[in-house]
């Protein structure tokens, strides 16, 4: 009987926890009579992409990744538009894609999801040729992504501190935005294109986004004053940001953002220098991934402020 070929990519230095036990956990969970497992360790930036692409070209059925958000992104972008399925064993600080798909953050439970074999085929986005799966954008979140990339401690506390400190220094810009149904000119604090509803860490910038509808939810937040920052932050973590009076939301499959000068944008939280014009599009149903079935009602009941923030800081 032909065995199912599985490549397991482990980034030993990314994320927030040790992954030294992952090979043993995976090997113990998978029946060696049915599965042909190989384990690969990454050694440098984008190595995970190289390994995943090689696995895809060699007709591996699935590629599992144990690492942080950056490693998951590296693997996923190599597998788009192929028959190879992505499996996520989350070890990141934000775990945006895993959280969005309902993949458990516990490694043993995440492996169980993979073994159950249920898959979903999700959309992905492209911003100036850079692939993303959750969010991309310009403005304050891109500014913060640059500061956060320099953090040694990439946990929620560091992220929250950067938000508070950065709000003092950040200056909003004016943008020209063209989308499927029209165009507008707006001075904005944030423009975020959401294929997923959250950045990660359960920070919901686009609560209504659906990764399987062929569209992105574009969140445009007008400039905020210092007194509005705390309330807006609470709305972000309680799925209520779309109720902010300064928020405009667009639903579109294509978007062009024009600004006065080149600068940084973020792609799934990673800062990237790019030109004045940013072209964003959604590629429907482009990535196969192991995940629990999509909930019948994706928009869960709003959480209380206390419970959301308690879990975020835990």
Instruction: Mark residue 10 as left, alpha or beta (left: phi above 0; alpha: psi -120 to 50; beta: remaining).
Output: beta
What is residue 81's three-state secondary structure? Answer: coil
What is residue 118's three-state secondary structure? Answer: coil
Angstrom distance (rounded) from CA 127 to CA 277: 10
DSSP 102-115: T--SSHHHHHHHHH
Residue with tokens 């500061």: 147
Domains of the chain (ranges, CATH numbers): 4-117 (3.40.50.10330), 127-284 (2.60.200.40)
Structure tokens at 131: 């692939």
> How confident is residue 143, by pLDDT bands cut at 50, 70 and 90?
confident
Q: What is the mean pLDDT of residues 184-199?
A: 96
- Strand extents, DSSP E, 28-147: 35-41, 62-67, 85-90, 119-127, 130-132, 135-139
Q: What is the pLDDT of residues 17-37, one digit of tens each?
A: 778 899 999 999 999 899 999
The pTM of the full predicted model, rounded to 2 decimals, is 0.87
Flag whether pLDDT at 72 surpasses 90. yes
Degrees to nearest 5, angle at CA 283 with 281 and 287: 140
The answer to which of 35-49, 85-99, 129-143, 221-235 has the lowest mean pLDDT is 221-235
What is residue 75's three-state secondary structure? Answer: helix
């Amino acid at each position: 009987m032909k065995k199912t070929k599985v490549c397991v990519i482990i980034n030993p230095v990314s994320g927030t926890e040790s992954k030294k036990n992952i090979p043993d956990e995976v090997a113990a969970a998978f029946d060696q009579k049915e599965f042909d497992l190989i384990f690969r360790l990454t050694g440098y930036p984008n190595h995970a992409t190289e390994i995943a692409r090689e696995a895809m070209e060699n007709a591996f059925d699935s590629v599992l990744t144990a690492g942080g958000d950056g490693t998951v992104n590296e693997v996923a972008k190599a597998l788009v538009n192929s028959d190879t399925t992505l499996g996520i064993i989350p070890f990141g600080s934000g775990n945006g894609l895993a959280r969005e798909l309902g993949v458990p953050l516990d490694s043993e439970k995440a492996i169980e999801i993979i073994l159950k074999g249920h898959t979903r085929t999700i959309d992905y986005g492209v911003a100036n040729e850079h692939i993303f799966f959750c969010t991309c954008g310009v403005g304050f979140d891109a500014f913060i992504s640059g500061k956060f990339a320099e953090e040694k401690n990439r946990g929620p506390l560091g992220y929250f501190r950067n938000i508070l400190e950065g709000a003092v220094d950040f200056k909003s810009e004016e943008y020209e935005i063209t989308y499927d149904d029209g165009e507008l000119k707006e001075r904005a604090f944030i423009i975020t294109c959401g294929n997923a509803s959250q950045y990660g860490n359960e920070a919901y910038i686009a609560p209504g986004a659906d990764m399987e509808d062929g569209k992105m939810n574009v969140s445009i937040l007008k400039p905020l004053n210092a007194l509005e920052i705390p309330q807006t932050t609470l709305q972000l973590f309680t799925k209520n940001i779309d109720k902010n009076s300064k928020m405009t939301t667009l639903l579109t499959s294509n978007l062009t953002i024009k600004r006065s000068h080149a600068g940084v944008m973020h792609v799934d939280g990673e800062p990237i220098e790019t030109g004045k014009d940013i072209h964003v599009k959604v590629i429907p149903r482009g990535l196969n991934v192991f995940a629990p079935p999509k909930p019948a009602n994706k928009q869960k009941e709003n959480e209380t402020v206390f419970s959301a923030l308690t879990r975020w800081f835990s």
